[in-house]
A and B are shown apart, each in its own frame.
Chain A
Amino acid sequence: MWYFVSPKIVFGEDALDALEELEGSRALIVTDQTLVKLGIVEKIQSRLRNNGFDTRVFDEVEPDPSLETVQRGVQIANQYQPDWIVALGGGSPMDAAKSIWVLYEHPEMQAGEITPIVQLKMGSKAHLATIPTTSGTGSEVTWGIVLTNQAEQRKMGLGNRANLADIAIVDPALAAGMPPQLTADTGLDALTHAVEGYTCAWHNDFADGMCLVAARLVMTYLPRAVANGKDMEAREHLHNAAACAGLGFSNALVSVAHAMGHTLGATFHIPHGRAVGLVLPYTIEFCAAEAPERFVDLGKFIGCVNQDGQAGARQLAQAIRGLCQTIGEPLSLHQAGLDEKAFENALEKMIDDAFNDASMVSSSRSPGYDELRQIFRCAYYGTPVDF
């Protein structure tokens, strides 16, 4: 028994018009200050005002949002009493908004209690609309939440199927202004979702199709979008790919690359997409050593693999390294600028944190402590994994 869940998705040019069809009267927009300065928040407010909404903006969400930020957002929600929460931005505002929504509806809960094993009812006070401005996180269509416990330098994987958005508005125009580096980082996040969703132990028939299509779209259109941000065909396909990958992985799960990426992000503040994309080829090589079939299957669908078995899986890993080179992403943690001594000092804590990351439970091959230490070191020095 398992579930496939999805919000209603409005996508394509002018998808923002869907804001004028929402039923309600007060919307709290959860976002960051960059989007206020870029005038994107005003665009959303204007559409909502046209629909008779009063709006308020909570723009304090930082990258890797903390528990404290979420608490401030909950206070605003409690004062303002919105009937819609509108999450606007990349993964950070989305995840903060989902948490704020749950804690606004359930004041008896703490953020850490938003787990997939509690029974949660949502919608008695407000609905959630998600509007992505980056093409990677997929958070607009997922119920997963990642918050940062700053005191413990640890990312917390949270979420419950009930905190899925009511509507996701996937309008490519909002991604058009992303600079090349952000386009590259977030695109790798979408690719990692697709690859891990397809190859993790919790893969399933319903999620597979989403992952396959998303992976092919990213491999095809990410280099174009990085090279020319005004290529709207590439932008639109990437924006859709991120949502497809989000549906794919959130109805299966992610795996070792995300467990490693979360702890690298929490420890060294490497942007999430860059961290998971960087380690992905190494985790493919590790997992495929025992079960290469699904990696080969995915690589053949994308069109970058023509061999079977481990050789085919290694072709997929190399194709992803090739993509990273093309879009100017580092291939190793050393290239990403991590100091060797700082890396070694942090290594044992990162291993423990990676093992205690929810993403690790669905790995198709479970590493031991020594193996995970070696994978981290391979990713640091840029050495392919051969064990």
Chain B
Amino acid sequence: MLKFPSDEWIKELSKQLNESADYERSAKDWEGDFAFIVEPDEAYPQTAYLYLDLFHGKSPSAGILNSVDEKPAKYTLAAPFSAWRKVIEGKLDPIQGMMTRKLKLQGDMMQIMRYPKAAKEIIACCAKIPTDFDGHHS
């Protein structure tokens, strides 16, 4: 079990993406790294920053950050911990999450809307990670 959010968890997502042929094809032209901001809520009282580099269908690097300024990313996606949990567990479609502002995206939205298949493959890879949400297993 890998705790979410953690350095091990985001590195495992990076590994899963690098092993996914479907992700590689769907994101073959994609250039842009992400900072995922986990905002505090009742279930998780801290803020966490996860960094995921994505380039031409691969994920060259990933890790936990102390702040978003440590490694400024092209895109930031921020949501409370409980919303992230729903996304990772497949209970909240990330596109629906962005449309209802449950997930707040900053970056080139025109570009990101051209890659829905890649977004789906990232979620599929998240679902492959045995995740511990602070004592609650997915």
Contact = CB atoms under 8 A, between A and B. Distances in A.
Interface in A229-248: none
A358 B22 CA distance: 17
Nearest to B100: A1
B6 interface: no
Contacts of B56: none
Nearest to A117: B98
Contact of B25 (A115, A117, A369): A369
B102 A356 contact: no
A356 B114 CA distance: 6
Given A115-B110, A115-B113, A361 B120 contact: yes
Interface in A313-361: 352, 355-358, 360-361
Contacts of B117: 355-356, 360
A116 interface: yes
Contacts of A3: 100
Interface string B68-108: 00000000000000000000000001011011111001000
Contacts of B26: 355-356
Contact of B93 (A116, A157, A202, A355): A202
Contacts of B105: 117
Contacts of B99: 116-117
Contact of B102 (A1, A116, A201, A368): A1
Contacts of B120: 361, 366
A3 B96 CA distance: 11
Contacts of A358: 95, 113, 116
B96 A202 contact: yes
Q: Determine the main DSSP class of B at the interface with A.
A: helix
B43 interface: no
A112 B110 CA distance: 6
Interface in A199-214: 201-202
A118 interface: yes
A42 interface: no
A355 B120 CA distance: 10
Contacts of A201: 93
Interface in B2-46: 22, 25-26
Interface residues of A, number: 25
A153 interface: no
A368 B22 CA distance: 8
Given A1-B102, A356-B116, A366-B120, A361 B95 contact: yes
Contacts, number: 51
Interface residues of B, number: 21
A113 B109 contact: yes
Contact of B109 (A1, A2, A117, A356): A117
A117 B96 CA distance: 9
A356 B120 CA distance: 10
A110 interface: yes
B79 to A, nearest CB: 13
B27 to A, nearest CB: 10
A2 B96 contact: yes
Interface in A109-166: 110, 112-113, 115-119, 157
Question: Considering residues B102, B109, B115, B116, which has the most beta carbons from chain A within 10 angstroms of its beta carbon?
Answer: B116
B100 A118 contact: no
Contact of A110 (B100, B102, B110, B116): B110
B137 to A, nearest CB: 25
Nearest to A361: B116
Contacts of A110: 110
Question: Considering residues A1, A3, A119, which has the most beta carbons from chain B within 10 angstroms of its beta carbon?
Answer: A1
A154 B120 CA distance: 21
A352 B28 CA distance: 10
Interface string B115-135: 111011000000000000000
A360 B96 contact: no
Interface of B: 22, 25-26, 93, 95-96, 98-102, 105, 109-110, 113-117, 119-120
30 contacts: A1-B102, A3-B100, A110-B110, A112-B110, A113-B109, A113-B110, A115-B113, A116-B99, A117-B98, A117-B109, A119-B101, A157-B113, A201-B93, A202-B93, A202-B96, A352-B25, A355-B116, A356-B114, A356-B115, A356-B116, A358-B95, A358-B113, A358-B116, A361-B93, A361-B95, A361-B116, A362-B93, A368-B22, A369-B22, A369-B25
Q: Which 8 A-B pairs have the closest CB atoms?
A: A355-B117, A112-B110, A117-B98, A361-B116, A116-B99, A115-B113, A113-B110, A1-B100
Given A117-B99, A358-B116, A369-B22, 10 more contacts: A117-B95, A201-B93, A202-B93, A202-B96, A352-B25, A355-B116, A356-B26, A356-B114, A360-B117, A361-B119
